Amino acid sequence: MADPDFVHLHVHSEYSLLDGANRIPALVEACVADGQNALALTDHGNMFGIVQLYREATRAGIKPLLGCEMYVARQSRHLPHSKAKGNGYNHLTLLARNEEGFSNLKKLASAAYLEGLHFRPRIDRELLSEHAAGISCLSGCLSSEFSQLCGMGKEAEAEALAMSLRDMFGPDHFWLELQRNGIELQDKVNEAMVRIHGRTGIPMVATNDVHYLRREDCEAQDVLLCINTQAKRDDPGRFKFDATTLFLTSRAEMAEMFRDLPDALKATVDVAEQVDLEMKFGEYHLPVFVPDDGGGADALFDSLLEEGLGRTYGRDHSEARERLDYEKRVIRELGFVSYFLIVWDLIRWARDHDIPVGPGRGSAAGSIVAYLLDITRVCPLRYGLLFERFLNSARVSMPDIDIDFCKTGRERVLQYTRERYGAENVAQIVTFGTMKSRTVVRDVGRVLEVPLKDVDRIAKRIPQGPGAPNLAEALTSDPELKELRRQPEYSELFALSATLEGITRHISTHAAGVVIADRPIAEYVPLAKNGDDVTTQWQAPELEDLGLLKMDYLGLRTLTIIDGALENIKRRGGDAPELEGLPLDDEATYALLMSGETQGVFQLESDGMRKLITRLKPDCFEDLIAILALYRPGPLESGMADMFCRRKHGEEPIEYPHPSMEPILEDTYGCIVYQEQVMLISNHLADFSLNEADNLRKAMGKKKPEIMERFSATFLAGAQKNGCERAVAQDIWDNIVKFGGYGFNKSHSTAYALISYQTAHLKAHHRPEFMAANLTCEMGDSGKVKLLCDDARRSGIAILPPTVWGSAWGFKTEGSGIRFGLGAVKGTGSKAVAALEEARTAVLGEELPLTLHELCRQADPAAVGRVTWEALIKAGAFDEGGHNRGAVLHALGAAMADGARAAADRRAGQGDLFAAAPAGEVPEEVGDGIDDHQAWNNADTLRAEYEVLGFYLSGHPLEERAGLMGMLSTVPTNRLEELSDGAAVSLAGLIVGLSQLLVKSGKMAGRKMARFRLEDLHGAVNVVCFPRTFEECAGGLEEGAVVVAHGKLEADGEEPTLILSEMMTVEEALGHFEGGVVLSLSPEDASLLPRIREVLCEHPGKRPVFLQVTGTDGSVRRVRAGGDCTVAITAELAGEVGELLGRGRIKLARI
């Protein structure tokens, strides 16, 4: 006998956050496999997964039922949740039956967050009655008000509630929800429900309150609840489900469960059949821009463009006029006039309110309309940028103008958007955080009470980062994880973690996305709240499919840096350059770019990019545009970047396969670098329209053979029609396919090249001010701060240490140097530093010495706590007082106690206690209260400094052994670029940034390797330790270890990299060494020879000494110093020779 039809009407997905354990695709797949024809989604208090369910179900050929299990406040959504005061909440199952019901469901879900959010997003009976039309209602699970009344024996009240809900939703659209989950209380509720059904005729419907997919997933879902409630699994009395049957039961299982009530099963089909709802995609809901004067949008659009045309090109510029007329026509036909005016208005307002805005990003820079409206600031005619790359009238889609604002001004622009278009018409966009592999192991480990040290050890072994395998894959490929998995105490941890990995954990707010609609957004999309942010409940791609205007307000840090640099210049009395009018042929700017000194320059900072720049040596703006397009994996790996460099420098002839290609490829030396070049070639040579050319460009990105074959035939036919030989046309097409697939968006590259040029200009002409602004913006990243500090020092700019005597929150120029900002000290905060500055002003105003005790007396102890004081001391901010940092820290407790008493006195209105001393008595001189006997040694000082700065500023742990480090190294790290690829290298240094990785493929698959940077006193180099070497030296691979590394140099990559072959401690390296010592001398050192001999004789040993002498003619000779001159290789010997001759003049050499 065939199983009866049945539809699951009460189903929770992973969007019932940390409660539901179902993934929507798996739910749909299971329903299809069981022959079920429809599926509902009723997540707790939200509609996050509705669009995904609709799409997945429709694609699979089953009917999606869109719903929500609402939280309903007993009294009012406007009052705080409180069971004790009678305003607890209950559950209620709602399903949208038609378009009106879907609209009402969205309004309910929105109001639950915007009006009723307190512990849970809640509605109330009043709101429900206002929006009941078009909604089907089920009485709910055991947590519903109806079920609770039944469970308490209040059957009459339950019946009255049921009658009330039937009246609210209509007699055909309300059901008593019957569940059989094995819970004793549920049986009692069911019995009452059957009686009420008998008396009222309200139909019953069977559900299973699905929370997980399969019976065996019950345990994983229980762990999910523990993570949600921060409970341990074995905690007595914790919240847990009493049922173990809340999985996606089959039709057969439901038929067996409800064999005595077959009508309850049939009712599920009745509920589903009532649903007639189709979500509408592709209909635009753009706001209509209303000018301030009340005029029409079209008239304003035309007026602004005519004004811009006259200002920029002159009204009689035929090319600009023709392009403008064409773009206007397309924009009007597609209905996007208001869109452009909205963007124009936002950018105009930002600039009028001194919020820096970028010159453009993405394909929008290809539009002359955007240029004349001052949305973008690069001329599309000058740089050959194409409108069709931005807006293709043959493939209608929403324009995409993303806007870069200064990071600190973005929120102000967002607030203006709300004010301009109505807060109810503007929202930010939701995103979802998921349980990543390491996170899930830590969460599950806490629930299972696995010892924290074990969980931490296991989590650190799990690969992470881009391309890392998921946990299930890692458990089968990583030898260490496989071994751990075999241990009984960890098997459950891994099994549950693998099941829960990737489950949605929490909601977040999209970093940039904003949606603007023509009506209240809740009419289109349910809304949520994340902290203070009002967000959509659906994600960005879903919103765009629904026709809503989504814009990205990006906070670009570089704009903040530029603004800060200009302010620094003005603060020092300089003339800040007008960046918009900078000449693009400044020699100093290009000299800086060619040198590769581009740390801090927008988009040009990485080692690999600096290497490309020094090879390419840009000497015009077009080269800079190309660099941004070339520095990507495709062009670098395909050889395109190398070809560009060779052709630019005349090392390879520039060839154009067809004369029509020369004007298109001239700026890039015959190389296809940009997508726009592909479009123009196909347009000029093969008669593609630019819309068709854009379709080709898009097809190339998707790399579908059947589509490319169709374009190939059209291209070859068009080229031959224009007189191009077939073989030549085929060659051109093959080149387009080979290199064009790597082509970059020239519009974006051009706009961003302008920012790169502006930052390079500032660094070339105003380096201290520019670097100070960079450092201030990067204060939260100690690694970046170190790189910038090193760069500044190399150019002769001193980095002055932090000091309470003069440092501010950010970095600032001081004399010819840059004063370290207190905001870069870990443990401080903006409020604490502001309070400290107030205290400093007060102390100096009273003409008192600026000591730790005085500052503690003046500073508000609530604002400046012990952590901040300790951090400042460890960073050296009190060094100017003349005391060692250890001594100052030792005095902190007493100073803070004095400060607390002073603060209490101030609150009590008491003055200086000394003022109350009897006449003639002079208070005893107490000094500054610091005992210098508590001083730290240099190692402890540096260790504490590294702790709060993330790097060494005042010194380096290697300095005391600098001579020895130099002696053990072939070359210092800053000279590695002088060596050829494959050179054998020995380097002594400090391990920093150590990370372990799992090899995913090849012969070494499943084995571990490591990467780190080896830092000496001159810089650092990346080191790669492959599995075989890793297994030999893993014991010595520790963060902060001082080692001697031997290996081969890879010099042909983006930056020099040492491939490690052997690693030893310094002591091991000296113990294994069998050679001698080489001293590098020149004729100028002749007078030092007697002293050199004395030093060598003071360190007798067994190692021979060689003198490597460079003659006046440049010739180099190596001679032995004499059989009686042998030494012991020690740090002291290296240090003394270094003092005498200079660092780096003594080396080890094998005999």
The one-letter amino acid code at 64 reads: P
pLDDT at 1000 over 70: no
* pLDDT one-digit tens code per residue, 1021-1030: 999 999 989 9
* pLDDT one-digit tens code per residue, 1033-1063: 888 888 888 899 999 998 776 678 899 999 9
CA–CA separation, 463 vs 667, rounded Å?
A: 44
What is the per-residue burial (b if ≥16 Cβ within 10 Å, else e) of 1001-1015?
eeeeebbbbbebbbb
* pLDDT one-digit tens code per residue, 777-790: 999 999 899 989 99
Q: What average pLDDT score do residues 360-370 get?
A: 94
Least confident of 110-114, 551-555, 815-819, 1115-1119: 1115-1119
Give the chain's domains with CATH numbers: 24-274 (3.20.20.140), 297-431+510-557 (3.30.1900.20), 436-502 (1.10.10.1600), 646-689+706-740 (no CATH), 809-920+944-949 (no CATH), 959-1069 (2.40.50.140), 1076-1149 (no CATH)
Q: What average pLDDT score do residues 248-267 get?
A: 94
pTM, entire model = 0.84
Helices (H), 847-937: 852-858, 866-874, 885-890, 892-908
Q: What average pLDDT score do residues 41-64 get?
A: 97
Q: What average pLDDT score do residues 111-134 get?
A: 96
* pLDDT one-digit tens code per residue, 1067-1102: 888 777 777 888 888 888 888 888 888 888 888 888
The predicted structure's pLDDT at residue 430 = 96
Q: What average pLDDT score do residues 93-111 get?
A: 97
CA–CA separation, 217 vs 392, rounded Å?
A: 48
Whole-Å CA distances, 233 to 225, 569, 1024? 9, 60, 42
* Pairing label, strands 403-406, 89-96: unpaired
Least confident of 2-11, 86-95, 127-136, 326-335: 2-11
Computed over every residue of the chain, the mean pLDDT equals: 89
pLDDT at 920 over 60: no
The predicted structure's pLDDT at residue 226 = 92
Q: What average pLDDT score do residues 597-623 get?
A: 93
pLDDT at 915 over 70: no
CA–CA separation, 948 vs 802, rounded Å?
A: 12
Q: Where are the beta strands (DSSP E) in 122-162?
A: 122-124, 135-138
Q: What average pLDDT score do residues 781-808 get?
A: 93
Mean pLDDT is highest, among 40-44, 531-535, 978-982, 994-998, for 40-44
* pLDDT one-digit tens code per residue, 701-724: 777 777 888 888 899 999 999 889
Q: What average pLDDT score do residues 853-875 get?
A: 92
More confident residue, 706 or 275: 275
The predicted structure's pLDDT at residue 925 = 40
Q: How confident is the model at residue 764 (pLDDT cuts 50, 70, 90)?
A: very high
The predicted structure's pLDDT at residue 1054 = 60
The predicted structure's pLDDT at residue 910 = 54
The predicted structure's pLDDT at residue 1129 = 80
Whole-Å CA distances, 1090 to 279, 443, 566? 93, 69, 57
pLDDT at 78 over 50: yes
Query: Please, what is the angle between helix 607-616 and helix 587-595, to 10°?
Result: 120
Q: What average pLDDT score do residues 122-131 get?
A: 96
The predicted structure's pLDDT at residue 265 = 95
Say what percent of the chain tops pLDDT 70.
97
Q: Structure tokens of 15?
A: 């969007």
Q: Is-contact 1096 1111, C-beta < 8 A? A: no
CA–CA separation, 556 vs 404, rounded Å?
A: 6
* pLDDT one-digit tens code per residue, 539-596: 999 999 998 989 899 999 999 999 999 999 999 998 999 998 899 999 999 999 999 9
The CA-based angle 13-18-23, given to 5 degrees, is 25
The predicted structure's pLDDT at residue 3 = 75
Q: What average pLDDT score do residues 167-192 get?
A: 94
pLDDT at 395 over 80: no
pLDDT at 906 over 70: no
Q: How confident is the model at residue 464 (pLDDT cuts 50, 70, 90)?
A: confident
The predicted structure's pLDDT at residue 331 = 94
Least confident of 25-34, 665-674, 1003-1012: 1003-1012
CA–CA separation, 1021 vs 223, rounded Å?
A: 45
Using CB atoms within 10 Å of the CB of residue 12, give its burial: 0 to 12 exposed, 13 to 18 middle, 19+ buried.
Answer: buried
